[in-house]
Structure 1
């Protein structure tokens, strides 16, 4: 099942969270660049809410276009990076230096999903629900 179908199933109360995370990790996501850079050097678009940096990610260009329209920015070009969900959480999230997660299809009220910085989604060293060894040492 593709990611959007897994999101719909979970939102309907019949999905499996582990399957959803697996599909998220396998999905190619489109992550817009915050500065419009198309050369691979620009930062990825994100926002901070509740002390967590949320990377915006989309399952296709139509979902990203709905986001652009919702922001009143549909008239500009939206360069993006196509990246596996696994690479986004395993390689990009650890570079943030604080709690970070992924917000998928945020402009779709019935099709959005947050993947928060918790164990099983991000690396344990970045998860807010995992106590690190140094935190327990006095």
Structure 2
């Protein structure tokens, strides 16, 4: 079930945020994500968040800031089961266009977004991580 984020979800969402970032970005030291944890925890409730819940377990979430996807996060045990696609479909229902940034080395995410009709519109260096990232966009037809 996809539903709006509730304040009670914050701890589970942050655990998922940290674990997924460390796992998906093995080319960035885990310390980077750990050092940013408190800041993200403070800012996250200000974004529009949709969570995917099965039973009482939160298995994924998507964060939106206006038309920008801040991230899609799915628990490792639930990846490959369509949860990310369902969260993205929810965002597409709510918006006429979407943008996001994805690290060039995150090949799995790049393939996911390309399959979802996102196109690379720019390439830049993320100064915080010294990693190349792509700006991607999607527009409703």
After TM superposition, the score normalised by the length of structure 1 is 0.29
Higher-strand-fraction structure: 2
TM-score by length of 2: 0.29
Determine which structure has the larger helix proportion and give its number: 2
Higher relative contact order (CA 8 A, sep 6+): 1
